[in-house]
Amino acid sequence: MSPETLEMFLSLALGYAVAGLISAAYQAITTRPPSFRLLNAEARAAALAAVPFLVFAAPFIIMRNTVRGRRLEGRRFEFVMLATMLAGTWSMMSGTAVVMVLRGLGL
């Protein structure tokens, strides 16, 4: 396996891990699951503050909604596959950002 492929797998895994970690922390603090509805906050500052959180929590939210939709609503396989690919791509991008920050810190 090439180093680039290994780095992409690491970015993918790290993206999902960070998404799950911050989503679980949010749910532990607020006692409600994270959602894209945070962008609809009445206060504009609250909606703006939710953007960085949602950028990194989105893969978890997308996959949670996809799994629930498949189980409860019987969504089609094609929709589930498309949502999984979207969440994976998003996770890889956010994981790459985390790796870049860790490299910048010298870790």
* pLDDT tens digit sequence for 21-74: 999 999 999 999 998 888 887 888 888 888 999 999 999 999 999 988 888 887
**Range of the structural domain that residue 31 is part of:** 3-104
Torsion of CA 35, 57, 90, 62, to 10 degrees: -30
Average pLDDT (99-105) is: 90
Largest Cα–Cα distance of the chain, in whole Å?
Answer: 49
How many domains are contained in the chain?
1
Please choose, from the candidates 13, 87, 100, the residue with its C-alpha nearest in 3D space to the C-alpha of residue 57. Answer: 87
Torsion of CA 28, 80, 14, 4, to 10 degrees: -170
